[in-house]
Structure 1
Amino acid sequence: MSLSAWVPIVGLLVLGALFSLFSVAIAPIVGPKRYNRAKLEAYECGIEPTPQPIGGGRFPIKFYLTAMLFIIFDIEVIFLYPWAVSFNALGLFGFVEMLLFIGTVFIAYAYVWRRGGLDWD
């Protein structure tokens, strides 16, 4: 393999690095400058901090369930990419198998929806 095959890859890396450095350098110049007390706190999120209980406070379980559901459905979507790449090679068998897979994902999604797992109170 000659070095000329690597020129587009190196060019793309250089272009990406230049763009990222330019974005970081220009942001303080052109970005908005609206400071308030909350933004000047050590943990800047734009919301006024409130005192936490001594025990550190507990998060409701729905936050963790929402994160787990996102990961599960995200991983299931990742399985669609190899199928899409080899769709022509799989033929009818691959199509039927993917319909069954998507049907199973839809049933799980409907179940979570009916149980209120997607409600954010």
Structure 2
Amino acid sequence: MIEIGGFGTVLLFIVGGLGFLLVTLLVGKILRPVNPTAEKQTTYESGEEPSGTAWGQFNVRFYIVALIFLLFEAELIFLFPWATVFGDEELIAQTDGLWARFSMVETFVFIGILLIGLVYVWARGMLEWVRPKPKASEFKSKIPASAYKKFE
């Protein structure tokens, strides 16, 4: 019998996963009906007809806010072990509260670093949205302005 090492097991899982993927896609291609229509070929955009191109520019601030959100969301990952240690009465009793004090100090240091980051981002104005300046329309109507008085 052949002995498989650690990397061999990983290789088997990769090959098995790729094989499963290829077999699934092949069976789907064989079984699905092919009936393309003009409506099926259109782009779906939340139930609305798409307008413009897909290459629209987004404000960079969306990405900055998303990155800041991810930073503060990661805080939960680091606070979970603190809650586990703080909630374990046996561990706290065994060490005369040393782990409890250590975890409290560690948590306050961590939250302090996050607050410093928030103050930095706020002070740099990264949370402020750039408001567009309204532009007056340059359209010149052939209808005189007095004609609109009837509709007021």
The TM-score range, normalised by the shorter chain, is 0.5 to 0.7
SS where residue 58 of structure 1 aligns?
Answer: coil
RMSD: 2.5
SS where residue 57 of structure 2 aligns?
Answer: coil
Contact 2:61 2:126 (8 Å CA) reproduced: yes
Q: How many residues align?
A: 78
In the other structure, the counterpart of 1:96 is 105
Distance in 2, matches of 1:71 and 1:45, equals 30
Q: Tell me by how many angstroms 1:60 deviates.
A: 2.5
Aligned mate of 1:115, from 117, 121, 124: 124
Amino acid at match of 1:118: L
In the other structure, the counterpart of 1:43 is 45
Give the TM-score, by structure 2 length: 0.43
Amino acid at match of 1:42: Y
Structure 2 stretches lacking a partner, 5+ long? 1-42, 93-98, 131-152
The 5 A counterparts of 1:8-23 are none
Structure 1 stretches lacking a partner, 5+ long? 1-40
Percent same amino acid among aligned pairs? 40
Distance in 1, matches of 2:110 and 2:100, equals 16
* 1:86 and 2:85 aligned: yes
Bigger radius of gyration? 2
Give the TM-score, by structure 1 length: 0.53
| Aligned CA distance change for structure 1 residues 45 and 62 (closer, same or farther; 3 Å) | farther
* 1:52 and 2:61 aligned: no
Q: Tell me by how many angstroms 1:50 deviates.
A: 4.1
In the other structure, the counterpart of 2:115 is 106
